Structure 1
Amino acid sequence: MLEIADPIELERPQDKLVRRLCEILNGYLDQPHIDDCVRAYEFSAAAHSGQFRKSGEAYICHPVAVAISLAEMRMDANCIMAAILHDVIEDTPISKAELAAEFSPDVAELVDGVTKLTKIDGISRAEAQAENVRKMFMAMTRDLRIIMVKLADRLHNMQTLGVMPSEKKRRIAKETLDIYAPLANRLGMNNIQQHLEVLSFEAMYPRRYAILKAAVKKTRGSGLKTINTVENSVKNRMSQADIVCEVSGREKNLYSIYTKMRHKKISLPDIFDVYAFRICVDTIDDCYRTIGVVHSLYNPKPGRFKDYIALPKANGYQSLHTTLIGPGGVPLEIQIRTHEMHRMAESGIAAHWLYKSDDDRQEKFQKRANEWLKDILEIQKSAGDSLEFIENLKVDLFPQEVFVFTPKGNIVKVPRGSTVVDFAYAVHTDIGNQCISARIDKQLAPLQTKLENGVMVDIITAPWARPNPLWLNFVITAKARSSIRSYLKNFNRKEAILLGRRLLEKELQAMDLHLEQVDEKRIHDLLKLIAKPSLDDLLEDIGLGNKMPFLIAKRLSQDDVHGALKLEDTQMARTAPLIIKGTEGMIITLAKCCRPIPGDAIVGFYNPGKGIVVHHNECHNSSDTRKKQANWLEVEWSQDLTTEFPAELRLEVMNRTGTLATILAAISEMNSNIENVSVADQDDKICVDLITLSVKNRVHLAEIMRKLKKLPIVVRLERVRA
């Protein structure tokens, strides 16, 4: 035990904390392990000497408070030591190697896993935060105790957030709600999750928190009366049924009430089910008997019974849930579980250290946790950067589960809204990569079908199948999304080259050519023009859909690969001007739906009958076409344009004599020709005109619009797009 000689020193907060820590450790650790923890405290106190928190207390108080949280969960000695030392590498000159030499490599690894990356240059705050979270998760896959330390660290930081500036409070609270509270839930640590949520709610919305707290407190008198009445009624009825139990009633926490008010768009008086009751019994058989007892005591609410004992949640949570109509018509949420299930619900993964046993249910929970960690590793490997990894992870941290059966009767849990493809990847990555269809309850179903509770899904695969980029439009799980992206990013280069060669040969054959017949100098000139190091790189681009085979074939068929648009007469030249770089030798059509002009972001669509049809990038028709066909390509305007282009304006003007003449005169002064004028709508006061005029580019059009807006007769003016 820690010896403190000077009585004055007893008043120091850190000494009180370490004495409390030792009292807790005495309850479950051997004396040599307690001595190691005290040695870690003395080492950490010396390292942090002279450092203070914003609240004014000695810095060492924070790591000791974190260690106390973990000691209450009965974590092992190395974990307690790591908690006491967790800021030593980050905030003092001491290195990981020194920690390993002084204590053990295991303790040093745990401390390093919690330590933030401090030297990250040239990236934004968001990227730095994402990189730190990513590092923590990767460390967590090696040792789950790292996340235990981090959650306890975050909990104490949230408890002492009061001295921080408001903006920093909100930022830390948002990160806690986004990452740490869902993570605690995912690991089954219900107690820490609820504390983090309430503290984050108070930090993010202090006024809402204060008002809601006061309103709940105001009704607390009648609430306590309801809780006592229900508790006594349940205990009496359970005693009559000879079932030994513990009954505890409570009000829901403020964050739960707040989220319910927001999601259902209701006020506090409309929320009646703010009371929850937990009944803990000895055996699983007693759980099911208890359901019958409480259903005979109060009427159950239809459709609100859930059996998480037979079908546990992904985080290992087990309980029976039901909602009853209590005294005065007040809804009551009832949770029925065994004492062991309750320990698992409160401590989650920490129960592995808290109550070491050979129980099958705990082994299953440990297995589920390990499977989830494997999924995190897969997401990490396929994520492009830290921000993408965090976005994928957020999806995975909020599972509202659907239970789906395999043909062999095994249960697979997937998030609500999951599709057949999500399920296939949940079973195995290779099955997801090769799935082509599925049978849902023995009926064929498309891959984008959303799955419902209790269905049986049989995935149909084929060895030649591969992931389709369109799947990214409907899959929702992080594993499916990251696996599809990973496959597409690492698409076999040889296959892409072979596909590109076949596509190019097909287009060349239509021009009575073969790739072998094309002069090498012509190929070399083309590769130089489009900045490709080799023919294989060009063929790969064609195979991956980055280059249009028709355009490449057209260029290779010309003597001058830079190309020129050869038109038969001047009339054709007026209808198909050379305006787009990279489409030389083809007929160009400007889409009439959006009337793109130079300066607009544009996209081209290859239509075998019309050549290249150019749309504005934001045109609705362009978006629809992209979904339906793959023959679209990125294009841009040529720099040496002299032609004028049609643009359409919609004007709301005052309905007076001479209004149209004034508008047309103003347009004419800006060196623009009017091609068409039509009246779309009019009444006694306002007239809506559609005017098609010719402009050189976006700048020219903007100048015309500015001049028209200055006219007192113009009420509203906008450019017409599809």
Structure 2
Amino acid sequence: MMRQYELVERVQRYNPNCDEALLNRAYVYAMQKHGLQTRASGDPYFSHPLEVAAILTGLHVDEATIVIALLHDTIEDTDATRAEIDQLFGEGIGRLVEGLTKLKKLDLVSKRTEQAENLRKLLLAISEDVRVLLVKLADRLHNMRTLHYVPEAKRARIAEETMEIYAPLAGRMGMQDMREELEHLAFKTLNPDAFSTITTRLEDIRSRNMDLIKDIETELSEHLASHGIAATVKGRQKRPYSVFRKMTTKQLGFEQLSDIYGFRVMVGTMDECYRALGVVHTVWPSVPGRFKDYISTPKQNDYRSLHTTVVGPHRQRVELQIRTQEMNRVAEYGIAAHALYKDASGGNGAETGTVARPLPRLSEESRAYAWLRRTVESLSDGSSPEEFLENTKLELFQDQVFCFTPKGRLIALPRGATPIDFAYSVHTDVGNTCVGCKVNGRIMPLVTQLQNGDEVEIIRSKAQIPPATWETIAITGKARAAIRRATREATRKQFSSLGRQVLAAAFQRAKRDFSDGVLELALPRLGQPTVNDLLAAVGRAEIPSSDVLKAAYPDFKDERATVQRGDMKRAEEGWFSFAGQTGVKFRYMASSESGTGGLPVRSIAADLPVRFAPNGGAVPGDRIVGILTPGEGITIYPIQSPALKPYDDHPDVWLDVRWDIDAGDQVRFPAQISIHSFNEPGSLARIAQTISDNDGNIDNIRMARRTTDFHDVVIDLEVWDLKHLNRIINQLRTVHNVSRVERVNG
């Protein structure tokens, strides 16, 4: 176990002016509090926070972060209190230690909702202070290094969480070395067979090519030196998980991998980066399509480097990363490299005595940290914990492409992103009003996958509402969250509109005044916060309109009447009405022209949640009735449909509806027919041809063999109206291989 002076010396190597007294006080306090506690390995428990602190010294963090690492388990696992830590180390350190304690209480849980809530808390805490992230990642890294001591039943769960959340989060924060080690340890646990196989193959390659890396390092250094470029060249073999990921994502066998080796070329200035690239491409041929310039367009985690692949000595493909020493520091330490801390007073001297100096603040934010803040803001608003978890994972796992707006603004997107993702990255309003796009000046589908350098122009319309299906096309968390919100809002407006029409009809039937002011007075009795909430609840059939009437007018008496559906079916002409539980006057008409009452039905309207009966549908000319289904809106049935029977004893869900079709409307409606036909060659073709000749549109066909000689055919049609449907049925009856045709009323 590392001794007290060794920890202080580690910090002093990169920060000679560190607060040594603060570090010593935290070391002694944590060791005393953990006392004789032990870990699953049998080691003293204090060895864990000490190792976490040691990992952080490798990131060159400030002494306050080291102190937080030493203390991060004291409140949870010992008798230490927040007040005591505040007194000894300051309120800032106490707040962060307590925050990490609250996060650990939900850590490593199996329930998805709790895991999602834990991640939300973690990201919110990180967005407040980056040191929470640094301590949390170092804590997870040491736990993964000692995972073999954990009971076997827990290992896979811990490794999976590491692979899904902590490793990509480290990568997103630019801490690539930590990400690679976390992935390596998790991969070893989650897929031991693949890990063992790839490791063996890599060892075999290393033994056969022991001198290759050194030869390339030497030859490349000499070529650069001959052109006056002083460079440090370091080569290494890829890690097993990196190989496995490339094999699975690109569907390659191990023998097909041609870039097992990677080299970092570190030079002094940015100008030398591009000069070195020229030298490399002059000496060795480059592999087309494998050059990336992350210096001119850095990644969102601040990573900057030139990437290229060349065919080097021995005809071996070699990946090269060319960067300055400063770029390399950011690539290794990530967010920690940007942690330039200053005291609140602007000095850097330590206070003396028992109370630490004020906790330093982050004076310079990296792009990665700014991304984290934006992600938390966009994903935490209005999302369920499960959505937050899903969308955050989408944000964490991404290899980027860079696209441009027509005005030259650079937009970084994950690989595989579409113009929909691009639109929402520009602004949520741009995404919500998107109706089309131009990519490099050409009109392209919204499902087009964008490539590096594409110029994307979004075509907009204020009348647009994002379709719910866009969620399956978008791949960024921001776009998916925005589409969900827009869909929920559009659905809410639909139900509110329906609820308003239902209540207006009910109040009119009861001969009572209807207005938002009247509804506002009834809100407390109905337990609804706003009028729109009440209207939506009525539209979703959660609150009967009669209850709203009673709440608005306590003297209202609901004079209910019942009527048998059989009586309705016997009404060949005219109409009759009755007051159901909703208070709406139901109107049943022999044809679409026989009356004007009820809610208008045109088709599947955008402003009302209306759908047609799933089996059989309804067409203009049918006498129709609406059934108010909780959570779904209105389902339209022909009055003769046997599917209405279950609703006979529930008059509160019946609604008066009427067709509202203009002569010029070009809208088809769903219908279903059943055909009994002879089984002979060409029979189905003749049926389809007859439907086509009569301007019918076949949506779906289902066939079943009843006997050797006969088939039952069920066809879903789209027709203009009842006359059109009857004409098709009559024409089908004349086809010689058809024995029977009937309309299906589901």
Q: TM over 0.5: same fold?
A: yes
Q: Is the 8 A contact 1:287 1:336 kept in 2?
A: yes
User: Residue 414 of structure 1: CA displacement?
Assistant: 1.4
Q: Which residue of 1 aligns with 2:113?
A: 127
Distance of aligned partners of 1:97 and 1:499 in 2 relative to their CA distance in 1, 3 Å threshold? same
The answer to whether 1:69 aligns with 2:67 is: no
Q: Which residue of 1 aligns with 2:335?
A: 349
Distance of aligned partners of 1:107 and 1:632 in 2 relative to their CA distance in 1, 3 Å threshold? farther
Q: Which residue of 1 aligns with 2:497?
A: 499
| Secondary structure of residue in 1 paired with 2:209 | helix
Distance of aligned partners of 1:28 and 1:243 in 2 relative to their CA distance in 1, 3 Å threshold? closer
User: Residue 435 of structure 1: CA displacement?
Assistant: 4.2
User: Residue 260 of structure 1: CA displacement?
Assistant: 2.0
Separation in 2 of the partners of 1:232 and 1:538? Answer: 73
Separation in 2 of the partners of 1:559 and 1:487? Answer: 41
Work out which of the residue numbers 200, 208, 215 in structure 1 matches 2:186: 200
Q: Which residue of 2 aligns with 1:380?
A: 380
Q: Is the 8 A contact 2:500 2:535 kept in 1?
A: no
Separation in 2 of the partners of 1:612 and 1:449? Answer: 43
Separation in 2 of the partners of 1:183 and 1:538? Answer: 39
| Secondary structure of residue in 1 paired with 2:401 | strand
Between 1:392-401 and 1:214-223, the stretch displaced more is 214-223
Q: Which residue of 2 aligns with 1:394?
A: 393
User: Residue 569 of structure 1: CA displacement?
Assistant: 6.2
User: Residue 339 of structure 1: CA displacement?
Assistant: 0.9
| Secondary structure of residue in 2 paired with 1:382 | coil
Which residues of 2 match residues 33-112 of structure 1 at below 5 A?
33-112=19-98
Q: Which residue of 2 aligns with 1:25?
A: 11
The answer to whether 1:410 aligns with 2:406 is: no
User: Residue 333 of structure 1: CA displacement?
Assistant: 0.8
- Structure with greater helix share of residues: 1
| Secondary structure of residue in 2 paired with 1:27 | helix
User: Residue 421 of structure 1: CA displacement?
Assistant: 3.1
Separation in 1 of the partners of 2:8 and 2:616? Answer: 72
Q: Is the 8 A contact 2:106 2:118 kept in 1?
A: no
Deviations 1:264-305 (A, max 9, x none): 344333323111111111111111111121122222111111
Separation in 1 of the partners of 2:225 and 2:374? Answer: 46
Deviations 1:39-62 (A, max 9, x none): 111111122112110000000100
Separation in 2 of the partners of 1:297 and 1:367? Answer: 35
Q: Which residue of 2 aligns with 1:660?
A: none
Deviations 1:113-149 (A, max 9, x none): 322457679x963333222222111100101111011
The answer to whether 1:247 aligns with 2:233 is: yes
Structure number with the bigger relative contact order (C-alpha 8 A, sep ≥ 6) is 2
Q: Is the 8 A contact 1:424 1:431 kept in 2?
A: yes
Q: Which residue of 1 aligns with 2:177?
A: 191
| Secondary structure of residue in 2 paired with 1:247 | strand
Work out which of the residue numbers 638, 643, 646 in structure 2 matches 1:638: 646
Q: What letter matches 2:379 in structure 1? A: I
Work out which of the residue numbers 170, 173, 184 in structure 1 matches 2:159: 173
Work out which of the residue numbers 147, 163, 168 in structure 2 matches 1:182: 168
Deviations 1:460-513 (A, max 9, x none): 5566665554433422211122233335546798x66873377659xx9xxxxx
Q: How many residues align?
A: 585
Distance of aligned partners of 1:564 and 1:373 in 2 relative to their CA distance in 1, 3 Å threshold? farther
Distance of aligned partners of 1:259 and 1:236 in 2 relative to their CA distance in 1, 3 Å threshold? same
Give TM-score scaled by structure 2 length.
0.68
Work out which of the residue numbers 318, 324, 332 in structure 1 matches 2:304: 318
Percent identical pairs in the alignment equals 36
Q: Which residue of 1 aligns with 2:216?
A: 230
Q: Which residue of 2 aligns with 1:162?
A: 148
User: Residue 603 of structure 1: CA displacement?
Assistant: 8.6
Q: What letter matches 1:326 in structure 2? A: G
Q: Which residue of 2 aligns with 1:137?
A: 123
Q: Which residue of 2 aligns with 1:452?
A: 451
Q: What letter matches 1:342 in structure 2? A: N
Q: Which residue of 1 aligns with 2:683?
A: none
Q: Which residue of 2 aligns with 1:477?
A: 476
Distance of aligned partners of 1:252 and 1:609 in 2 relative to their CA distance in 1, 3 Å threshold? farther
Q: Is the 8 A contact 2:308 2:321 kept in 1?
A: yes
User: Residue 639 of structure 1: CA displacement?
Assistant: 8.6
Q: Is the 8 A contact 2:233 2:264 kept in 1?
A: yes
Q: Is the 8 A contact 1:499 1:543 kept in 2?
A: no
Which residues of 2 match residues 625-664 of structure 1 at below 5 A?
638=646
| Secondary structure of residue in 1 paired with 2:330 | helix
User: Residue 325 of structure 1: CA displacement?
Assistant: 1.4
Q: What letter matches 1:482 in structure 2? A: A
Q: What letter matches 1:296 in structure 2? A: T
Q: What letter matches 1:376 in structure 2? A: V
Deviations 1:599-653 (A, max 9, x none): xx98996655567899xxxxxxxxxxx9xxx976899983999xxxxxx9xxxxx
Any gaps of 5 or more consecutive residues in structure 1?
A: 1-12, 357-361, 509-513, 550-557, 573-580, 588-600, 615-625, 642-647, 649-676, 693-722
Q: Is the 8 A contact 1:404 1:456 kept in 2?
A: yes
Separation in 1 of the partners of 2:56 and 2:566? Answer: 79
Q: What letter matches 1:380 in structure 2? A: S
Separation in 2 of the partners of 1:88 and 1:247? Answer: 44
Deviations 1:334-384 (A, max 9, x none): 11111111111111111013799xxxxx99971453143122122112212
Deviations 1:15-60 (A, max 9, x none): x343431221121335661221111111111221121100000001
Superposed CA RMSD in Å reads: 4.6
| Secondary structure of residue in 2 paired with 1:115 | helix
Q: What letter matches 2:319 in structure 1? A: E
Q: Is the 8 A contact 1:73 1:350 kept in 2?
A: yes
| Secondary structure of residue in 2 paired with 1:335 | strand
| Secondary structure of residue in 1 paired with 2:15 | coil
The answer to whether 1:517 aligns with 2:471 is: no
Distance of aligned partners of 1:193 and 1:612 in 2 relative to their CA distance in 1, 3 Å threshold? farther
Q: Is the 8 A contact 2:499 2:539 kept in 1?
A: no
Q: Is the 8 A contact 2:406 2:457 kept in 1?
A: yes
| Secondary structure of residue in 2 paired with 1:248 | strand
Q: What letter matches 2:289 in structure 1? A: G
Distance of aligned partners of 1:287 and 1:38 in 2 relative to their CA distance in 1, 3 Å threshold? same
Between 1:210-219 and 1:40-49, the stretch displaced more is 210-219
Q: Is the 8 A contact 1:402 1:414 kept in 2?
A: yes
Distance of aligned partners of 1:569 and 1:173 in 2 relative to their CA distance in 1, 3 Å threshold? closer
Q: What letter matches 1:391 in structure 2? A: E
Between 1:604-613 and 1:55-64, the stretch displaced more is 604-613
| Secondary structure of residue in 2 paired with 1:141 | helix
Q: What letter matches 1:500 in structure 2? A: L
Q: Is the 8 A contact 1:382 1:483 kept in 2?
A: no
Distance of aligned partners of 1:470 and 1:205 in 2 relative to their CA distance in 1, 3 Å threshold? closer
Which residues of 2 match residues 609-628 of structure 1 at below 5 A?
none
Q: Which residue of 1 aligns with 2:319?
A: 333
Distance of aligned partners of 1:638 and 1:212 in 2 relative to their CA distance in 1, 3 Å threshold? same
Distance of aligned partners of 1:633 and 1:154 in 2 relative to their CA distance in 1, 3 Å threshold? farther
Between 1:230-239 and 1:337-346, the stretch displaced more is 230-239
Q: Is the 8 A contact 1:438 1:444 kept in 2?
A: yes
Separation in 2 of the partners of 1:465 and 1:313? Answer: 33
Q: Which residue of 1 aligns with 2:670?
A: none
Distance of aligned partners of 1:613 and 1:145 in 2 relative to their CA distance in 1, 3 Å threshold? farther
User: Residue 444 of structure 1: CA displacement?
Assistant: 5.0
Q: Which residue of 2 aligns with 1:280?
A: 266
Q: What letter matches 1:474 in structure 2? A: I
| Secondary structure of residue in 2 paired with 1:414 | strand
Separation in 2 of the partners of 1:260 and 1:680? Answer: 53
Q: What letter matches 1:203 in structure 2? A: T
Separation in 2 of the partners of 1:689 and 1:605? Answer: 23
Separation in 1 of the partners of 2:636 and 2:105? Answer: 41
| Secondary structure of residue in 1 paired with 2:319 | strand
Give TM-score scaled by structure 1 length.
0.70
| Secondary structure of residue in 2 paired with 1:299 | coil
Q: Which residue of 1 aligns with 2:535?
A: 540
Q: Is the 8 A contact 1:422 1:475 kept in 2?
A: yes
Q: Is the 8 A contact 2:496 2:536 kept in 1?
A: no
